[in-house]
Amino acid sequence: MKLRTLVLATATALAATALALPVAPVALADSSAPATSPVSVARVKTVQGTVLSVTAVGATSVTATYTLRGTTESVTVPLTEQSPGAWLSGVLQLPYGYGAYVEHVTALDGDVPLDTPTRLYPFRELPVFQDVASTSSASSPLTYGHETVTVTGRLTTYDPASGYSDAPFVTSVLFSTPQNPTTTADQDGRFSITAPIPLAVSPKTYTLFAGAPEADPSAVQVYTQREDTRIVMDPGPASVVAGRPAIVTGTLQYLDATDPAGPTWKPVPGAPMRTSSSNSPNPSTVTSATGAFGFTWPAINSLWWIETGSTLDPYLRSSDIPFTFASIIQQVSAGLSQVSIDAHGTLHFTATEGSTDGIPTSGHLYLESSADGTSRWGRVKELPQSGSQTLALAGANPHAWYRLHYVPDTAAYLAATSRPVHVDRDRTRITGGKPNHTTVTRNVVVAFTGHVQYQTAAGSWLPARNTHVLLEFRPYQGRTWSVKKTATTSSTGAFTLTAKDTAAGTWQVVWDTPSSGFLDSTGPATYVHIR
């Protein structure tokens, strides 16, 4: 039969006393017979000592022989049948004292022996757990920051020949937690052992072991409780600038349900914090000693999640909170490129404009100029806002710095200016240049005199020496100019041009600049009549 606990009614006082104590039978690893055997054996601890309980179906007699291992010294103990198949000995009094005995049970069915294998019996005093107490209970579970349990108790002595006593038992104690801490009982048998306990289904049973394997262990129930957390955000800035780093701060707290004053929110130091969004990067950090944390993000119009990290203490529930910037001010970019001024004094340039949310939908874009590029900027012209455009502006100042200046008209955008660009051409002029007569007879020679001059950046006028001037003519009702004569200016910039007037029409003197450093100039257009 398989090993089982027997509850027997006996007529003898010893058996009645032995079975009155609700103590489970203790058997060695080899103390039960195979499942096919009609015999099972168990040793039962009672108040008076250890008794042998045997189940032998069909047996007519049962005895147990104990031989001190390594010797021939032995003693035979008879068993009494208490009920059909249930046999019980008296308290085992082995005359050779403590030691290791070879136990052999003989069960006979008439003259036929039943299967009774030999087993080892360590006959010795054993420790017994008494007054076991734990710092964890249903009303006081382990919580965040209080994640270790302390178990105390004392060890007394169990003598198999005389039963339980209050004598202290000094031996090692093991607490079967994940870390398996051990300690040794004091001389008075008292012990205290502490172990960290992982969060688990509450309550969870752990076991104390002491001394020999056959000593009864003691079960310890440990209660654990997970606590809530919350993320408290600090007031952020009223507005942030798009694309620039913005600092977001807050505090991680947990609800301490064990506080004597009642449930209280307290900071969580050293906790992992992270962010998540559709943008990157998504930074992470660790809370300070006061539970504070901070993230630096580029200010963009996006939904962020602030959450506790995956390595958060298991005794704390995770938390998350959504975050968006209340107000984002857009940055504007303004660019001025491909800037040049041609010989006719026309400014050519490409203007580009954009913002961190596209093209600004409000405000004004101006072309501005300055004499020195650093101060006293004046508006030249307001430009349309179209992202990128190539423009030409006639009559521009050829000695100037130019820039674009965006002026917002709402708080949604920042002002912006482009890098200044310098252009430099000298203005020129033709003084004189009129014919000596405005009415002449056909084929009469007409003379034009004057000077060609250029203006420096300082504003003074100087002669254009040794340069060519043209005399151009356009006949009455004609549309095309033709060159009639050329001349070279003197060292003072003076010129004289003559031509035979064969038809009525308009005359003018022209100077086409020979380099990119000057502007073209044209003298007065004068109509000469033929009489």
- What is the rounded end-to-end Cα distance, in angstroms, of the chain? 154
pLDDT tens, residue by residue, 436-482: 999 999 999 999 999 999 998 888 999 999 999 999 999 999 999 99
What is the predicted pLDDT for the residue at 280?
64
Helical (H) or strand (E) element with 255? strand 245-256
How far is 298 from 41, CA to CA, in rounded Å?
77
What does the pLDDT average to over 258-278?
A: 91
Show Cβ contacts of residue 56 under 8 Å, excluding neighbours closer than 6 positions: 38, 39, 62, 85, 87, 107, 114
Beta strand extents in 325-443 (DSSP E only): 328-329, 332-341, 347-355, 364-370, 378-383, 388-393, 399-407, 416-417, 421-424, 428-435, 439-440
What is the predicted pLDDT for the residue at 356?
83
Contacts of 295-298 with C-beta under 8 Å, sequence gap 24+, read: 295/247, 295/248, 295/249, 296/245, 296/246, 296/247, 296/248, 297/245, 297/246, 297/248, 298/243, 298/244, 298/245, 298/246
Closest CA to 212 of 150, 124, 147: 124
pLDDT tens, residue by residue, 144-154: 999 999 999 99
Mean pLDDT of the chain: 88
- With a pLDDT cut of 70, the percent of the chain lying above it is 92
What does the pLDDT average to over 355-366?
A: 83
Which whole-number Å values give the CA distances from 505 to 405, 480, 521, in the listed order? 48, 11, 21
- With a pLDDT cut of 90, the percent of the chain lying above it is 70
What is the predicted pLDDT for the residue at 36?
35
pLDDT-derived band at 297 (thresholds 50, 70, 90) equals confident
What is the predicted pLDDT for the residue at 38?
64
What is the predicted pLDDT for the residue at 31?
38
Closest CA to 518 of 437, 427, 429: 427
* Global confidence as pTM: 0.62
pLDDT tens, residue by residue, 281-295: 678 999 999 999 999
pLDDT tens, residue by residue, 199-247: 988 899 999 999 888 899 999 999 999 999 999 999 877 788 887 888 8
Beta pairing, strands 163-168 & 148-159: antiparallel
